């Protein structure tokens, strides 16, 4: 368990963790990490200090180093940038500056640093740590510290959190701030797309990324761009011809616009910069298209943090405090990072070295090596992009397989992106791709048509389900479905949907006993706002719903800030699954989140009311409570609202809000677009191989358990799992998996809301090495 008082800590020698913001430029969502470090640090009995203005504040000392309180990090989750400031610091690069910084820390008895920044900031921290003993010796010789102070501060522990919108730090799948930057970019791309379609224009958009093309690459996947230029992989020497041919082919297929994404550090194979203006001039000169340039600039660094970044910052902040709690003088400086869905700790300097190796490889024109050093996730993004943007579908379909794709269940943002990816990858592989309208009902009624390349044009950014989707299950229509499988010669089925898609897959497996026509491979791509499909930690659409809830909660909290002494009860969707309520609670800073998976009683409700009564006595005079729609049949949203209203009389007012179906609508987030695109590509690749494997005696016959699977993200990898093997892991009555990874995050939500609980750290991260981590990286 996570003890309230750290080891070797007494009341007379309080344990101290300062938080340092040492990045050169302001980043989105740093505040979530700061808030988590401060509150979890205080929770463990530590004294926590802010260092204002980064390393400059550490060098200058005085009022720049101030003790943090619980209330000092309230109402900051929704704020971009960093509330404790950041500044360039030449002084810290010199030993004399680091000597002054060491003196300031020793005088305050601080021996633990949590450094939030990029590779330069983290390298500086490691240098500071390596010199620590010598710095103390020099300070003692100069008479600036006593021997007793030197003994008490004889070591310095450092844990790093990576903050960079470029996602240019090797060792982590995603740095804090990247997802929020993608939100800003996609908002602008979507707005530009509408005007480009109206006027038949070509737009060249320049995004940040001087040494890393991650933002440009993921943006291209998320908006279906025609071309992307990134520094890690310069185009071939004849790229001008290839680009113009690609753009003209797109227009020939009926598209009214072209989108080209350029990273600011894009170069050709000779190291010559490829600028947005030069691309514009090329397109105008060769093709005569009306072409405009938009340079996004620092708008990418601002704005409200996304839900993903708030949760990532909070999780990494908690893990950083744990790492400091467990650190010894011999523990190497580590960086807390994300691998798939898991928090991991990696040696700081190993990560910094690999990051520098990428830059070196690009400088030496070793671009293949640079791509490999970026990691498998980056490379897979690039491979999917190349397939969708650069490969021409074969003209002939002789010997092609026929694959059908459909949506099942409730609509979810990102479904269309998955269908688009599936259709186009299928066409590139030479397959005949059919689309089925209205799910299993449409499959039974023959609402099926062939899809060409242009059929799914522009679908990536559209919410809902263009194909139509219903909750109908296939069992009652096996005969009609079998007849249509034969009629349309369907040899494989890709089902994009939620829990009904999964249960429908199970029914198809059972139906194989009666109908040979059902013996075709199928794969389920989880897509539901509820995130309740067994076999996957994430579902397409859940991130969009989460951001919708967060945005609403932010606005509600803002209204409460003006009125004071007000508590809001918000009802979220999810059926019996409490994922949305829990994760939105973590991202929005809720005081409580009621879910079905964690039963609660009237006594628990009373404790929550008493907690809010005490909160109203502090400077934070507002409350936020989330309730999953089916958490308890008796303790309804109205009941909880009435209870809070009665018990809070004279102390606080209560308001309620049922968010409803707005959580299913809207344009998909960058995460959902990218996730859906890669899931669709991976599903079709699996399908093509499985059809060939199942070809027997002139026909497709697939009756093995592994011919019907769910494609899901499990911890660090995308894996195919037979639906029959997932039955034992499923609570069918309540339509949820029996084990859900996010339940382990609920104690964090309660600690950050200032509840007195124990935190189970049985699955906390252990120190790994970057080479081992990269070899086991998620293939997404």
Binding-site residue numbers for substrate are: 164-166, 201, 208-210, 264, 292, 298-301
Contacts of 572 (CB under 8 A, 6+ apart): 549, 580, 581, 584, 626, 627, 628, 629, 659, 663
Helices (runs of H) and strands (runs of E) counted in the chain = 26, 27
Pick from 535, 518, 531: nearest CA to 410: 531
DSSP-assigned letter for residue 90: S
- Per the DSSP assignment, residues forming a β-bridge with 653 are 566
Sign of CA dihedral 668, 408, 717, 760: positive
Residue 347 CB-half CA count within 13 A: 12
Beta carbons of 6 and 46 less than 8 angstroms apart = yes
Distance between CA atoms of residues 249 and 251, nearest Å: 5
Helix 307-326 to helix 579-588 angle (10° resolution) is: 80
Beta carbons of 88 and 24 less than 8 angstroms apart = yes
DSSP-assigned letter for residue 226: S
Distance between CA atoms of residues 438 and 293, nearest Å: 40
Beta carbons of 499 and 472 less than 8 angstroms apart = no
Distance between CA atoms of residues 626 and 683, nearest Å: 35
Question: β-strands 448-450, 432-436: how paired?
Answer: antiparallel
Helix (H) or strand (E) holding 369: helix 367-374
How many other C-beta atoms can be found within 10 angstroms of the C-beta atom of residue 617? 9
DSSP codes joined into one string, 236-252: PTTHHHHHHHHHHHHHH
DSSP-assigned letter for residue 142: T
Here the tokens at position 344 are: 């991991």
How big is the chain by its Cα radius of gyration, in Å? 27
Helix (H) or strand (E) holding 656: strand 653-658
Binding residues for ATP: 88-89, 118-121
Q: Which of the following is catalytic: 166, 226, 309, 672?
A: 166
DSSP codes joined into one string, 557-580: HHHHHHH-SEEEEEEE--TT--HH
Binding residues: 88-89, 118-121, 164-166, 201, 208-210, 264, 292, 298-301, 471, 528-532, 566, 573-575, 629, 655, 661-664, 735
Pick from 30, 187, 250, 223: nearest CA to 121: 30
Distance between CA atoms of residues 192 and 286, nearest Å: 23
Beta carbons of 637 and 604 less than 8 angstroms apart = no
How many other C-beta atoms can be found within 10 angstroms of the C-beta atom of residue 769? 13
Give Cα separations from 466 to 51, 64, 408 (angstroms): 51, 55, 12
Q: Is 126 marked active-site?
A: no
DSSP codes joined into one string, 460-500: TT--S-TT-EE---SGGGHHHHHHHHHHTT--EEEEEESHH
Beta carbons of 475 and 506 less than 8 angstroms apart = no
How many other C-beta atoms can be found within 10 angstroms of the C-beta atom of residue 147? 8
By annotation, the residues acting in catalysis are 166
């Amino acid at each position: 368990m996570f003890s309230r008082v750290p080891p070797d800590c007494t009341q007379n020698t309080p344990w101290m963790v300062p938080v340092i913001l040492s990045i050169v430029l302001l980043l989105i969502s740093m505040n979530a990490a700061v808030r988590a470090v401060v509150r979890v640090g205080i929770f463990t009995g530590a004294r926590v200090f802010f260092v204002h203005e980064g390393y400059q504040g550490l060098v200058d000392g005085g009022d720049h180093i101030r003790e943090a309180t619980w209330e000092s990090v309230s109402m900051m989750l929704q704020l971009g940038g960093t509330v404790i400031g950041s500044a360039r610091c030449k002084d810290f690069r010199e030993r004399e500056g680091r000597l002054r910084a060491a003196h300031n820390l020793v005088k305050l008895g601080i021996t633990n640093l949590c450094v939030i920044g990029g590779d330069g900031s983290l390298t500086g921290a490691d240098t500071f740590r390596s010199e620590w003993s010598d710095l103390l010796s020099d300070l003692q010789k100069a008479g600036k510290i006593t021997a007793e102070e030197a003994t008490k501060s004889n070591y310095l522990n450092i844990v790093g959190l990576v903050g960079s919108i470029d996602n240019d730090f090797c060792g982590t799948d995603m740095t804090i701030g990247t997802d929020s930057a993608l939100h800003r970019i996609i908002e602008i791309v979507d707005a530009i797309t509408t005007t480009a379609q109206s006027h038949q224009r070509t737009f060249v958009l320049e995004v940040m990324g001087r040494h890393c093309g991650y933002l440009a690459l993921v943006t291209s996947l998320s908006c279906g761009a025609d071309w992307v230029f990134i520094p890690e992989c310069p185009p071939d020497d004849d790229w001008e011809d290839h680009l113009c041919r690609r753009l003209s082919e797109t227009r020939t297929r009926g598209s009214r616009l072209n989108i080209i994404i350029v990273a600011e550090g894009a170069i050709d194979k000779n190291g010559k910069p490829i600028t947005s203006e030069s691309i514009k001039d090329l397109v105008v000169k060769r093709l005569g298209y009306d072409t405009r340039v938009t340079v996004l600039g620092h708008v990418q660094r601002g704005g409200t943090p996304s839900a993903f970044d708030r949760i990532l910052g909070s999780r990494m902040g908690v893990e950083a405090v744990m790492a400091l709690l467990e650190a010894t003088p011999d523990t190497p400086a580590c960086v807390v990072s994300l691998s798939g869905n898991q928090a991991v700790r990696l040696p700081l300097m190993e990560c910094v070295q690999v990051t520098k190796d990428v830059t070196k490889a690009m400088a030496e024109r070793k671009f293949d090596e640079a791509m490999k050093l970026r990691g498998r996730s980056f490379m897979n993004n690039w491979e999917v992009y190349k397939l969708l943007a650069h490969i021409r579908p074969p003209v002939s379909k002789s010997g092609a397989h026929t694959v059908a794709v459909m949506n099942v269940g409730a609509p979810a943002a990102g479904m269309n992106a998955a269908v688009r990816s599936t259709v186009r990858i299928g066409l590139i592989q030479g397959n005949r791709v059919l689309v089925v309208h209205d799910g299993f009902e449409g499959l039974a009624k023959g609402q099926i048509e062939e899809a060409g390349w242009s059929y799914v044009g522009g679908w990536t950014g559209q919410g809902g389900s263009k194909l139509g989707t219903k909750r109908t299950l296939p069992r009652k229509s096996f005969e009609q479905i079998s007849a249509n499988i034969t009629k349309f010669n369907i040899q494989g089925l890709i089902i994009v949907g939620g829990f009904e898609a999964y249960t429908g897959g199970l029914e198809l497996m059972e139906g194989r006993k009666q109908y040979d026509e059902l013996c075709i491979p199928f794969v389920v791509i989880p897509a539901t706002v509820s995130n309740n499909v067994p076999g996957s930690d994430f579902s397409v659409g859940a991130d969009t719903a989460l951001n919708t809830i967060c945005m609403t909660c932010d606005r509600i909290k803002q209204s409460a800030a003006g009125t004071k002494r007000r508590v809001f009860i918000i009802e979220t969707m999810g059926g019996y699954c409490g994922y949305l309520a829990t994760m939105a609670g973590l991202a929005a800073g809720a005081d409580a989140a009621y879910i079905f998976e964690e039963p609660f009683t009237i006594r628990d409700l009373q404790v929550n009311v008493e907690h809010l009564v005490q909160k109203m006595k502090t400077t934070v005079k507002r409350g936020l409570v989330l309730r999953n729609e089916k958490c308890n049949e008796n303790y309804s949203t109205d009941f909880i609202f009435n209870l809070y209203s009665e018990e809070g009389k004279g102390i606080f007012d209560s308001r309620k809000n049922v968010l409803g179906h707005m959580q299913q609508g809207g344009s998909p987030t960058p995460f959902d677009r990218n996730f859906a695109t890669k899931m669709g590509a991976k599903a079709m690749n699996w399908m093509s191989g499985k059809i060939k494997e199942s070809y027997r005696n002139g026909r497709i016959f697939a009756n093995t358990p592994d011919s019907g699977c769910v494609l899901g993200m499990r911890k660090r990898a995308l894996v195919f799992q037979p639906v029959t093997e997932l039955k034992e892991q499923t609570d069918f009555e309540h339509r949820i998996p029996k084990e859900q990874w996010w339940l382990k995050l609920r104690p964090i939500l309660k600690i950050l809301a200032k509840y007195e609980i124990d935190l189970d750290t049985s699955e906390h991260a252990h120190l790994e090495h970057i080479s081992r981590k990269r070899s086991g990286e998620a293939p997404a």
